[in-house]
Structure 1
Amino acid sequence: MKSIRQLERSRREFVATGIAAGSAAMAGCITGDSSSSEDGDSYTVSMAPMGEVEFDAVPQDAFVTFAHYADMAVALGHGDAVNTLFAPEMSGSTMSMFYDRLEGVSFDGESLPHPLKDGVVEEDLYEYDSDVHFLDPSYVLTTEDDWSESKIDTVAEQVGPWFGNFHSGVHSEPAEAYADSYEYYTLWELFERVAEVFQERDRYEALKEVYDETRSQIESNLPPEDERPTVARVTLGPEGQDVFYSYHTNTDGFWQAETRPLGAHDALADVEWSGDWGEVDYETMLEADPDVILHLWGITSRYAIEEIRERLEDHSAGSELTAVQNDRVVASGMRYQGPIMNLFQLEMTAKQLYPDRFGEWPGHESGQSYPEIPDDARLFDRDRVAEIVTDGAGE
């Protein structure tokens, strides 16, 4: 890790402009000068709430919080730039579980430090000395009491710019300082902007083509709406607590990027909560009585789906749930999903919700790689994705 003293030496200068409210005029567009930065040309990329952000070279060290930004870096051939990762033992292992099915693609995320273990610590940002911070300054202001706009500006000027958009996850409210300049993006719109940061437009476009084809294939083969299951997307709370952390499936936001395209009926659609997620009890779950329970984080190292099923089966109320009785408690992925993760999570969710349409899901064993699926049963081409990531746009 770089020391604070190293800031005294000359280094590439990264300038973030328009961070304060009032930069909305440029917040919705991408203004990147697509010329290669290898010859020293500067370029700008625009995204809310930062506004127009200027770079004089492609970032070599990237402060990354949530896994979707790390997955984007890997997808763009810049995984080595990532120097931190949220919950690395979970995020890193989950990302590698997917990458195991892509020849030549790897990422050692588990060995990275956790940047939010003690919150967003200003001194740590100077220590990491990153060329870019893939973190929304609005997230910092809404979660940290000791941060201010001026401190955010100082870090951008003295270390490296902020480049993130957290509230697009579920279209939650941004910090007051950014309320006038905030805009919401889809996962693939966020990815497009990160691709501009790394000057990897060709890789983005090639992966977006794979995604568009995959999504079109799925949507054109969905059953009629009246034949689709009801689904509850939840995470079972700790042992001894009769609570489910609940999420919607069809609402706006990139946290629903693998469920919304599948058009299943949200069993909890009429249940409201004020935060990014809710809490429901067994009584509410029994009233909703979903056909399928999608257990968020169920494919990560944090949870073993077999144990979740056993806990529900052993619970007096849980055992009465239709999804439990019909063996349709299934492992869902991570809400912090980048483009590669999104492709795999679309596939696994489609197979688990509509096996008659997309083929049976072979199941996933905790701690193991994403399961092998025969070539003719895959919903996207692994070799094509691997070639894009490792060789550029591919053929």
Structure 2
Amino acid sequence: MSELTAAGSTRRRVLEIGGLLAGGSFAGCTGGENDSETNDTASGRANATNRANSHAVEAAPMGTVAFEEVPRSLFVGFPQYADMAVALGHGDAVNTIYSPELAGEVMSAYTARLNGVSPNWSALSDPLADGLSKERLYELDSHVHFLDPAYVSTQQNWGASDIDEIAGNVGPWFGNFYSGTHDDPPKPYRDNYRYYSLWDLFGKVARVLREQERYRKLKSIHDGVRSTIRSNLPSKAERPTAVRVTLNADNSAFYTYHLNRPGYWLADTRPLGARDAFAEKEWSSLWGEVGYETMLEADPDVIFHLWSVSSQHDLSDVRNRITNTPAGRKLTAVRDDRLYPGGMRYQGPIMNLFQLEMTAKQLYPDQFGEWPDYASGEPYPKIPAGEQLFDRGKVARIIDGTA
């Protein structure tokens, strides 16, 4: 997508604002020799302000995306971008999000420990629930769409002309979906695609919102967490085997996900370096499916159940369903009480900080302190100050702009 196409929406908005200013001046008077001078002065001030606020951000696969001002209405596809907006002090600008109830409950569990940070996503609509709708995008009239155009091209009824139409008439696209898994993007995008880490992508979103200083402060905290983890990890031979799963609806099998592969979907497990019990498994999609007998053959020391920070995937119910099967009762992780709640794969920086800490405690209690008793859907547990991997108060102050 060219810079011209991506900037089309912001130019349209400047023209609209200019038209409103002109309309107001004519509506309130009968005209006179000073009208032209007054309008020129107002237009000059507006143009100067726009030039001061204009900026451009380069990111794959969009190329260079130009903005005349900081976006004030944010379309969000997947929750990592809403998390980023909250972290940068722009959470109120988010106007839609994928799976708002689930994402909102998970995010609220974490932000309950950040004083003054309380995003409410439950009332937002899900833009992907019934398929991505061009009409809905026009209704929302967002200043930017935090969704990868390469991903959009895979959706029903979306071609290159539709993608360009929304960028030109509403607001530019800005997202990178396939960095989540390092899966191949659609062929038309492959030559110009790049894979970013979660925090590199967060840095680009920070540039879109002109919040580079907040980003640098949060990244410093994240770097500290990663350094603490690296310096305290036991040797590879001493690390437990682990799997990340979701129990399917009829209790017959587990959806399984890797722990240490590339991509920001694993930004909370890969740094902990546990031994993936299914490391050698290759699946045709982004996850696999194994039955109870296969799970028992692998018999991991630790099982993370994805999404179980939320009440929608209540861990006590999951445990009961597993132990109601003969093979499930024999699983070492279940017998040793090492079936743990996992967070979200679609994690942004706030989720990532808490999920890194959570996973560290679940895997290595001797090094990072024990993971306490926790009920799905409750706020993230209170961790003693001496066992926290990052300072909650400092994170909250960065987000609200007082740090």
Whole-Å separation in 2 of the counterparts to 1:117 and 1:279: 24
Q: Secondary structure at the match of 2:370?
A: coil
Higher share of residues assigned helix: 2
Which stretch of structure 1 is more off in the superposition, 283-292 or 382-391? 283-292
Where does residue 167 of structure 2 map in the other structure? 156
Question: How far apart are 1:351 and its partner, in Å?
Answer: 0.4
Whole-Å separation in 2 of the counterparts to 1:195 and 1:13: 26
Q: Secondary structure at the match of 2:379?
A: coil
Where does residue 349 of structure 1 map in the other structure? 359
Which of the residues 102, 123, 141 maps onto 1:129?
141
Is 1:327 aligned to 2:337, yes or no? yes
Which stretch of structure 1 is more off in the superposition, 299-308 or 251-260? 299-308
Where does residue 262 of structure 1 map in the other structure? 272
Where does residue 302 of structure 2 map in the other structure? 292
Q: Secondary structure at the match of 1:53?
A: strand
Is 1:231 aligned to 2:233, yes or no? no
CA contact (8 A) 2:73 2:95 kept: yes
Q: How many residue pairs align between the two structures?
A: 363
Which of the residues 115, 121, 124 maps onto 1:112?
124
Tell me the alpha carbon deviations over residues 266-293 of structure 1, each in whole angstroms, 9 at most, x when there is no partner: 0010111021222122222122110000
Amino acid at match of 2:379: S
CA contact (8 A) 1:134 1:164 kept: yes
Is 1:252 aligned to 2:288, yes or no? no
Which of the residues 104, 120, 136 maps onto 1:92?
104
TM-score (norm. length: structure 1): 0.89
Gaps spanning 5+ residues in structure 1: where? 1-6, 15-35
Where does residue 49 of structure 1 map in the other structure? 61
Aligned pair in 2 of structure 1 residues 12, 113: CA closer, same or farther (>3 Å)?
A: farther
Whole-Å separation in 2 of the counterparts to 1:300 and 1:137: 30
> What is the correspondence of 1:339-378 to structure 2 with a 5 Å cutoff?
339-378=349-388
Aligned pair in 2 of structure 1 residues 387, 298: CA closer, same or farther (>3 Å)?
A: same
Where does residue 45 of structure 2 map in the other structure? none
Q: Secondary structure at the match of 1:45?
A: strand
CA contact (8 A) 1:71 1:339 kept: yes
Amino acid at match of 2:160: E
CA contact (8 A) 1:12 1:57 kept: no
Where does residue 282 of structure 1 map in the other structure? 292
Whole-Å separation in 1 of the counterparts to 2:68 and 2:93: 16
Where does residue 216 of structure 2 map in the other structure? 205
Which protein shows a greater Rg? 2
Q: RMSD of the alignment, in Å?
A: 1.8
Whole-Å separation in 2 of the counterparts to 1:113 and 1:141: 21
Question: How far apart are 1:13 and its partner, in Å?
Answer: 7.5
Is 1:11 aligned to 2:13, yes or no? yes
Question: How far apart are 1:11 and its partner, in Å?
Answer: 2.3
Aligned pair in 2 of structure 1 residues 10, 180: CA closer, same or farther (>3 Å)?
A: closer
Whole-Å separation in 2 of the counterparts to 1:97 and 1:111: 17
Whole-Å separation in 1 of the counterparts to 2:50 and 2:364: 47
Which of the residues 120, 137, 152 maps onto 1:140?
152
Whole-Å separation in 1 of the counterparts to 2:192 and 2:15: 25
Aligned pair in 2 of structure 1 residues 13, 191: CA closer, same or farther (>3 Å)?
A: farther
Where does residue 3 of structure 1 map in the other structure? none
Question: How far apart are 1:38 and its partner, in Å?
Answer: 6.9
Tell me the alpha carbon deviations over residues 123-159 of structure 1, each in whole angstroms, 9 at most, x when there is no partner: 10000000000001111122x1311011101100000
Amino acid at match of 1:252: P
Where does residue 199 of structure 2 map in the other structure? 188
Where does residue 29 of structure 1 map in the other structure? none
Question: How far apart are 1:39 and its partner, in Å?
Answer: 5.9
Which of the residues 212, 215, 227 maps onto 1:216?
227
Is 1:78 aligned to 2:80, yes or no? no
Amino acid at match of 1:73: A
Whole-Å separation in 2 of the counterparts to 1:208 and 1:297: 25
Aligned pair in 2 of structure 1 residues 169, 151: CA closer, same or farther (>3 Å)?
A: same
Where does residue 64 of structure 1 map in the other structure? 76
Whole-Å separation in 1 of the counterparts to 2:310 and 2:50: 38
Q: Secondary structure at the match of 1:54?
A: strand
Whole-Å separation in 1 of the counterparts to 2:378 and 2:168: 43
Among the aligned pairs, what percent are the same residue? 56
TM-score (norm. length: structure 2): 0.87
